[in-house]
Structure 1
Amino acid sequence: MAGPSRMTSLSIHKLWRHCALLACLLLASPTWAAEILLTAAEDSDGVHAFTQALAQQRPEDHVTFTPLKDLPAPGRVPASTRLILLDLASLDWRLQDNMGPPTLVLRISRLQAHERPGAAQHPRVSLLWSDPPLERQLRLIASILPRARRIGVLYGTESEFLLPELRQHAEPLDMTIVPQRWDTISDSRPLQNLFRNSDVLLGLDDPQLYNPKTAKNLLLSSYAQQLPLVGPNAGFVRAGSLASTYSDQADWLAVLDRLLDRAPANWPRSLYPDHFKVVGNPQVARSLGIEQFDEANVAARLAEGEKRP
């Protein structure tokens, strides 16, 4: 009786060793590789550089770029693909069909989505916002301009829908939104009226109001009135506004990496990147008599505040 018992014990031991080895192999290597397809209407060096950066970040996956003109209808793209759209033309193409693969729309503004109601309603599309979150911009103002209470906001027909959300975020910060409609950009009277009633001007990401044609008038008026302009984006800070939050390519890659690790069924319908930076214009700060601030330190404080319940 001892012989068979010992043989059984040895067999069980070998079986456990095989199971342990199999478990180690499964843990050491990915169980599957995702097919990740990026597309855009423009086939540029920047697009290829971004695709290559994502491929280097996810070596287990198959990451490729195909120009939009070379793709079939969305419903004919394999459903197992994870699709990443890099421009508005590719989004318009995707919205033609409710079928097709799960899709991440990279760097689309709230205003652009508002002009395309189908984008937010599409069952297989997730929108990754490009414009800075309104609450984050208000908290940036509170951090670098703690005495500012009256937040002047220029708005137009396209951006008016953002005002209720702005007021909602401003109230807990003890701020008041001072809105001013600006329909005719050649007319400076709305600007002067807003400046007289505001402590700071918060720029919305509305290209009808903030663009190369309006920048000179806006920034010169801001200097003349000694009223700082915050936002609407990093580009405007370089042109002469005081500061803004923004997300760069490294931040977007971090967001994509996190989302692509999830099952598409768990992707959010829309998302602001939680990775971001702060950019300031020291020359503008000096000209307005504002104490200079450490960009990295301010960004860290803002990020910490967003992690709190």
Structure 2
Amino acid sequence: MARQRPSGALDLRRRLGWGLLLLSLLLCAPLRAAEVLLTASEDNPAVRTFSAELAAHRPQDQVRFVPLEQLPAPGQLPSATRLILLDPQSLDWRLQDPQGPATLVLRISRLQAEQHLQGLHHPGLSLLWSDPPPSRQLHLIRKVLPQVRRVGVLYSEDSQFLLKELRAAAQSLGLEIVAEPWDSTHDSRPLQNLLRNSDVLLGLDDPKLYNPKTVKNLLLSSYAQQRALIGPNAGFVRAGSLASTYSDQQDWLQTLDSLLEQAPNRWPRALYPTAFKVLSNPQVARSLGIEEIDPQAVARQLSEGEQRP
């Protein structure tokens, strides 16, 4: 007759097996019940709405907004907190203290980061860029204006550092960057010279050059030369540029949701939102004799191109 295993040993093996299974499930499961703290220098309906929408996306977390003036020094916050900064003033506050929780800096432009960080690397920060990726904007030009070869770019002392990245991205697409400094926006000669020597104008997110005071001159001059302006943002498309990629609030919420699923030590140093849309101005396209753009189709094609290795 076969010898039976003692029931105590069998129960122990079962308990160990269930324990190992539970441990593996816990290790593989996404992080839960995180303390997510949003802050900004101003308490207004826009930031409250954004915070409420993020909380709706993250019901398993404790998501709250606290005005900057009500917070202690960053180093006094619990280390497990996931901190989200919503404006440059809150970034300056965070930079004053080398200690503090892992921090996502939301919707900061490349120029703002250059001005506030001054080239320094802060190990606790992840920067989420607000301006469209240069490569994405160039791919947009390639898609809607396939005949274009020379891309004109105005730059100031603040945005000059972006040219190296732009030229590298353009070269991979067979495009040439024709850059012109615009030191004084009251002098139209650099703009006119650039329009004569390029096929399209690509706007950088540089408030010195692209702002309500310059928009009329930029758009009228480009129309006169029959040159399309791409970018620099959705606001300029509504004002009269041809098209731009951009990320709206839902895209940002999707990006944040994805990052908050990860451990903070896996957050990237900097990131452009992977979710984005394309906005075009049909009236401008018609006036320039350009085929009407299907924004959803173009956005889908650009996104598919970025997902391919």
Q: TM-score range by the shorter chain?
A: over 0.9
Superposed, 1:19-168 pairs within 5 Å as 32-117=32-117, 121-168=121-168
SS of equivalent residue, structure 1 residue 78: coil
In the alignment, is the contact (CA less than 8 A) between 2:83 and 2:101 conserved in 1?
A: yes
For 1:278, the equivalent position in structure 2 comes to 278
In the alignment, is the contact (CA less than 8 A) between 2:137 and 2:245 conserved in 1?
A: yes
Superposed, 1:255-294 pairs within 5 Å as 255-294=255-294
Alpha-carbon displacement from aligned partner over 1:286-306 (angstroms, at most 9, x marks no partner) = 011000111011011111111
Alpha-carbon displacement from aligned partner over 1:265-292 (angstroms, at most 9, x marks no partner) = 1111111111111000000000110001
SS of equivalent residue, structure 1 residue 116: helix
State how far apart, in whole Å, the 2-side matches of 1:19 and 1:209 are: 62
- Residue 189 (structure 2) pairs with residue 189 (structure 1): yes
1:117 Cα offset (Å): 2.7
State how far apart, in whole Å, the 1-side matches of 2:99 and 2:9 are: 55
The AA in structure 2 aligned to 1:84 is: I
State how far apart, in whole Å, the 1-side matches of 2:233 and 2:31 are: 41
SS of equivalent residue, structure 1 residue 279: strand
RMSD over aligned Cα atoms: 2.4
State how far apart, in whole Å, the 2-side matches of 1:24 and 1:258 are: 22
Q: How many residues align?
A: 309
The AA in structure 2 aligned to 1:130 is: S
Q: 1:198 to 1:118 in 2, by over 3 A?
A: closer
For 2:298, the equivalent position in structure 1 comes to 298
Runs of 4+ in 1 over 6 A off after TM superposition: 1-4, 20-27
Q: Which moved more, 1:181-190 or 1:142-151?
A: 181-190
For 1:201, the equivalent position in structure 2 comes to 201
For 1:211, the equivalent position in structure 2 comes to 211
Alpha-carbon displacement from aligned partner over 1:132-154 (angstroms, at most 9, x marks no partner) = 00010000000000001010000
State how far apart, in whole Å, the 2-side matches of 1:206 and 1:178 are: 17
The AA in structure 2 aligned to 1:59 is: P
Q: 1:119 to 1:126 in 2, by over 3 A?
A: farther
TM-score by length of 1: 0.93
SS of equivalent residue, structure 1 residue 92: helix
The AA in structure 2 aligned to 1:260 is: L
The AA in structure 1 aligned to 2:185 is: I
The AA in structure 2 aligned to 1:159 is: S
The AA in structure 2 aligned to 1:72 is: P
1:24 Cα offset (Å): 11
Alpha-carbon displacement from aligned partner over 1:164-188 (angstroms, at most 9, x marks no partner) = 1111111111111111111111111
SS of equivalent residue, structure 1 residue 63: strand
SS of equivalent residue, structure 1 residue 283: helix
Alpha-carbon displacement from aligned partner over 1:93-126 (angstroms, at most 9, x marks no partner) = 0000110000000000001111123575111011
Identity of aligned residues (%): 63
State how far apart, in whole Å, the 1-side matches of 2:136 and 2:105 are: 21
In the alignment, is the contact (CA less than 8 A) between 1:134 and 1:169 conserved in 2?
A: yes
1:223 Cα offset (Å): 1.2
State how far apart, in whole Å, the 2-side matches of 1:138 and 1:295 are: 15
Q: 1:188 to 1:274 in 2, by over 3 A?
A: same
In the alignment, is the contact (CA less than 8 A) between 2:30 and 2:261 conserved in 1?
A: no
SS of equivalent residue, structure 1 residue 171: helix
SS of equivalent residue, structure 1 residue 104: strand
Q: 1:25 to 1:128 in 2, by over 3 A?
A: closer
Q: 1:142 to 1:15 in 2, by over 3 A?
A: same
State how far apart, in whole Å, the 2-side matches of 1:245 and 1:299 are: 8
State how far apart, in whole Å, the 1-side matches of 2:235 and 2:294 are: 19
SS of equivalent residue, structure 1 residue 186: coil
State how far apart, in whole Å, the 2-side matches of 1:170 and 1:25 are: 46
Structure 1: runs of 5+ lacking an equivalent: none
State how far apart, in whole Å, the 2-side matches of 1:82 and 1:174 are: 42
